[in-house]
Amino acid sequence: MRTVDSAAPWFRRFRPVPEPRLRLVCFPHAGGSASVYRSWPRRLPADVDVLAVQYPGRQDRLNEPCIDNAEEMVGAVSDALTPFLDRPLALFGHSMGASVAHEVAVRLERLHGPVLDTLLVSGRLPPRHHRPREVRHDDEWLMADVRDLDEASSAVLDDPDMRELMLPAIRADYHLADSYRPSPSPVLGAPVVAYLGRDDPRVRVWQLRAWAEVTKAAFDLVVFPGDHFYLRSQEAALVGDVARRLGGDRLEGARLEGAQWRHAVRGRGVQ
């Protein structure tokens, strides 16, 4: 059963861990909610506490105003994480969530020092390759773009009532993602791992390698079969790899189940 920490409405904990060794904070994609990470805790070590970020304007925060700019979102999530800094944090973000997770990581290291264990980013262009898109508010265009990336799950939008409930959050998230401009951030002291679906139509492997530039520690790149939402069909393999890393076996010595290939480097400047 899900429990909600009343002191942190930003997070959902589907399997509370009273005395965790580490906390994994998971950031959803545009239009997504905390529930996309509901099944992750059962695949992770018992001493890893999963905090799934719940953006305002959806599910049990439906009556709250959405946030449509990255700076406000990053500040709010970072502040909400302050009570959880008694344990090391790992951050995982997919698509838009990867950019938010990266900016939160930078902010936390700047304000609180080395509190970050690992940054894990998925299906998102790194800062060097990011280009803001034209911000559009045409609902037909939004629906077409959502279907282009996630045709199977977007079928729910064919229901007029569900579409009316979901559109405000989708609009806000698209505005955030399309208007986002990476801050001139210092490099992180924590390792970074970048994940990708081999057939993602928006991100290429050669682009993803530039995530190495955001850290002065280790970098690893992992490619799975699948498209932009590979993390559904490849959940067991993906979360298994995350679990291995959070268990202390970082980059060396373990077989990666399900992945097409992996690439590990140390330091910065991968082209």
- Residue 179 appears among annotated catalytic residues: no
Binning the chain into helix, strand and coil, the percentages to the nearest 5 are: 40, 20, 40
- Residue 228 appears among annotated catalytic residues: yes
Alpha-carbon distance 149 to 115, whole Å? 34
Q: Which of 95, 99, 122, 154 is catalytic?
A: 95
Return the DSSP state at 188.
B
Alpha-carbon distance 90 to 182, whole Å? 20
Residue whose C-alpha is closest to residue 264's, from 254, 98, 230, 105: 254
Phi, psi of 155 (to 5 degrees): -60, -25
CA angle (268 as vertex; 266, 271 as ends), nearest 5 = 105
Cβ neighbours, 10 Å, residue 185: 15
CA of 252: how far to CAs of 24, 49, 219, 230, 248, in Å?
21, 24, 12, 24, 10
Our CA dihedral for 250, 98, 59, 176, rounded to 10 degrees, sits at 170
Q: Which residues are catalytic?
A: 95, 228
